[in-house]
Amino acid sequence: MIYLDHLASTPLDPQVLEAMLPWMRIDAAGNPHAAHPAGWRAADAIDQARAEVAALVGAQPGEIVFTSGATEANALALLGGVPAGRGCVVSAVEHASILGCLPELRRRGHPVAVLPVDGSGLVDPAVLDSALAGLPEPSLVSVMAANNEVGTVQPLAELAAAAARHGATMHSDAVQALGTRTLDMAALGLHGLSLSGHKLYGPMGIGALIVRPPFRPVPASTGGGQQRGLRAGTLPTPLCVGLGAACRLARTRREEDARRIGALRDRLWQRLHQRLPGIRRNGAADRLAGCLNVTIPGIDAADLLLDLPELVVATGSACHSGDGEPSHVLLALGLSAADAHASLRFGLGRGTTVAEVDEAADRLVTMLGSANPGE
CB of 225 to ligand PMP, least distance (A): 24
Among 10, 91, 139, 176, binds ligand PMP (CB under 6 A): 176
Please pick, from the candidates 175, 193, 241, 299, the single residue that binds ligand PMP as defined by CB under 6 A. Answer: 175
Asked if 257 is part of the footprint of ligand PMP (rule: CB under 6 A), the reply reads: no
Q: Three-state SS for 325? A: coil
Would you tell me how many other CB atoms lie within 10 Å of the CB of residue 199? 26
Nearer to ligand PMP, 168 or 291 (CB): 291
237: number of CA atoms within 13 Å, CB side? 22
- Return the residue of 173, 257, 339, 356 that touches ligand PMP, per CB under 6 A: 173
Whole-angstrom CA distances from 178 to 155, 197, 312, 343, 351 are 15, 11, 23, 25, 17
Query: What part of residues 202-221 is at the interface with ligand PMP (CB under 6 A)?
Result: 207
Minimum CB separation of residue 265 from ligand PMP in Å reads: 17
Q: How many CA atoms are closer than 13 Å to the CA of 318, on its beta-carbon side?
A: 15
319 catalytic? Reply is: yes
Q: Which is nearer to ligand PMP, 86 or 95 (CB)?
A: 95
Overall residue count recorded for the chain in this entry: 375
Phi, psi of 269 (to 5 degrees): -60, -45
Q: How far is 281 from 137, CA to CA, in rounded Å?
A: 39
Phi-psi region of 216 (alpha: psi -120 to 50; beta: other; left: phi over 0): beta
| Cα 239 to Cα 84: distance, rounded to the nearest angstrom | 34
Residue type at 32 in one-letter notation: P
Pick the binder of ligand PMP from 2, 19, 70, 168 (CB under 6 A). 70
331 vs 119: CA distance, rounded Å: 10
- Closest distance of CB 175 from ligand PMP, Å: 4
Q: Of the ranges 66-74, 109-117, 120-128, 184-192, which one interacts with ligand PMP (CB under 6 A)?
A: 66-74
Task: Out of 97, 172, 237, 315, name the contact with ligand PMP by CB under 6 A.
Answer: 97
- In the complex with ligand PMP, the residue whose CB is nearer, 71 or 327, is 71
Out of 86, 95, 181, 345, point to the residue binding ligand PMP (CB under 6 A): 95
Instruction: Write phi, then psi, for 117 (nearest 5 degrees).
Output: -120, 165
Closer Cβ to ligand PMP, 148 or 152, answer by number: 148
Residues 114 and 92: beta-carbon distance below 8 Å: yes
Of the candidate residues 10, 139, 142, 148, the single one contacting ligand PMP (CB under 6 A):
148
Nearer Cβ to ligand PMP (135/239): 239
Contact present, 111 and 168 (Cβ < 8 Å): no
Residues of this chain that bind ligand PMP (CB under 6 A):
69-71, 95, 97, 144, 148, 173, 175-176, 196, 207
Provide the annotated active-site residues.
319
